[in-house]
């Protein structure tokens, strides 16, 4: 993080704040990240940080917004470039995996927010992100069934949930192993198994 960013425009400052939080989340428990640590990573005082965010909750909301926008944008790009629903599903799977590898702090933040007992704005944003993500998956699965590329009797909701759960499982295993990069090796093999369960086999 560049420590000489005291005179950046507000939009850029907010973006750098988000990046600082994501970087810190890759190194420690996201719930333990303090505004003092964020400010230090940015080379700022807490007072300067609070000129852009009233509290830590507002920072987390900005992080969730950043994650949602970028992940869904990548997913949409992968879908648009695919030649069929099945290839789109694989492209989304691998795109999501690469996003996690590039930003290992992101899944730690998302898991942390979802584990909160209380309802917070950032937790609701994570839930909305998952909902929007699942909607895209369900549409792809329905399109695949209609084109007879996927099993017509396939339970769309279950297939979408399994897709998300499979990625979450890969991420969790990599975090436990302390090696996010291992997802890149395991993801293609895991998707082959998922694919066998959803394709239309005459």
Task: Spell out the long-range contacts of 70-77 with Cβ–Cβ below 8 A and sequence spacing 24 or more.
Answer: 70/99, 71/96, 71/99, 71/106, 71/129, 71/133, 72/129, 72/132, 72/133, 72/136, 74/99, 75/133, 75/136, 76/136
b/e string for 52-81 if b means 16 or more Cβ within 10 A?
bbeebebbbbbbbebbbeebeebbeebbee
Q: Is pTM, for the whole model, over 0.85?
A: yes
Residues 28 and 68 in one domain: no
61 shares a domain with 137: yes
CA atoms within 13 A on the CB side of 81: 10
User: Residue 127 sits in which domain range?
Assistant: 56-198
Give the domain CATH number at 6: 1.10.10
Q: Tokens for 128?
A: 């909305």
Task: Please indicate, yes or no, whether residues 98 and 171 belong to a single structural domain of this protein.
Answer: yes
Chosen domain end from 39, 54, 69 = 54
Domain shared by 19 and 66, yes or no: no
Whether residues 83 and 175 share a domain: the answer is yes
Looking at the structure, do residues 136 and 188 belong to the same domain, yes or no? yes
Q: Are residues 151 and 107 in the same domain?
A: yes
| Mean pLDDT of successive 10-residue stretches along the chain, which has 202 residues | 54 85 91 92 88 89 92 97 97 96 91 84 90 98 97 97 96 86 92 96 78
Q: What pLDDT is stored for residue 170 in this prediction?
A: 94
Q: Specify whether 93 is located in the same domain as 136.
A: yes
Q: Looking at the structure, tell me whether residues 98 and 179 fall in a common domain.
A: yes
Q: List the CATH number of the domain containing 72.
A: 1.10.357.10
138 and 72 in one domain?
yes
- Record the tokens describing residue 116, joined without a space: 């909160």
Number of domains in the chain: 2
pLDDT at 69: 93
Same structural domain, 105 and 157:
yes
Other C-beta atoms closer than 10 Å to the C-beta of 131 total 9
Single residue among 10, 32, 54 that ends a domain in this structure: 54
H/E element, 136: helix 121-146
Last residue of a domain, one of 54, 76, 97: 54
Please check whether residues 119 and 98 belong to one and the same domain.
yes
């Amino acid at each position: 993080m560049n420590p000489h960013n005291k005179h950046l425009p507000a939009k850029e400052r907010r973006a750098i704040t988000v990046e600082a939080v994501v970087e810190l989340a890759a190194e420690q428990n996201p719930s333990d990240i303090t505004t003092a640590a964020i400010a230090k990573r940015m080379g700022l005082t807490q007072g300067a940080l609070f000129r852009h965010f009233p509290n830590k909750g507002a920072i987390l909301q900005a992080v969730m917004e950043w994650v949602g926008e970028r992940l869904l944008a990548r997913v949409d790009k992968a879908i648009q470039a695919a030649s069929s629903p099945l290839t789109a599903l694989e492209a989304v799977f691998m795109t999501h995996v690469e996003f996690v590898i590039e930003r290992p702090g992101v899944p730690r933040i998302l898991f942390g927010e979802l584990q909160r007992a209380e309802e917070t704005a950032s937790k609701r944003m994570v839930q909305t992100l998952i909902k929007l993500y699942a909607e895209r998956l369900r549409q792809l699965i329905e399109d695949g069934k209609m084109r007879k590329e996927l099993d017509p009797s396939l339970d769309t909701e279950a297939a979408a949930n399994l897709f998300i759960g499979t990625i979450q499982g890969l991420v969790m295993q990599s975090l436990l192993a302390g090696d996010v990069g291992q997802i890149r090796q395991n993801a293609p093999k895991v998707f082959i198994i998922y694919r066998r369960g959803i394709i239309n086999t005459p």
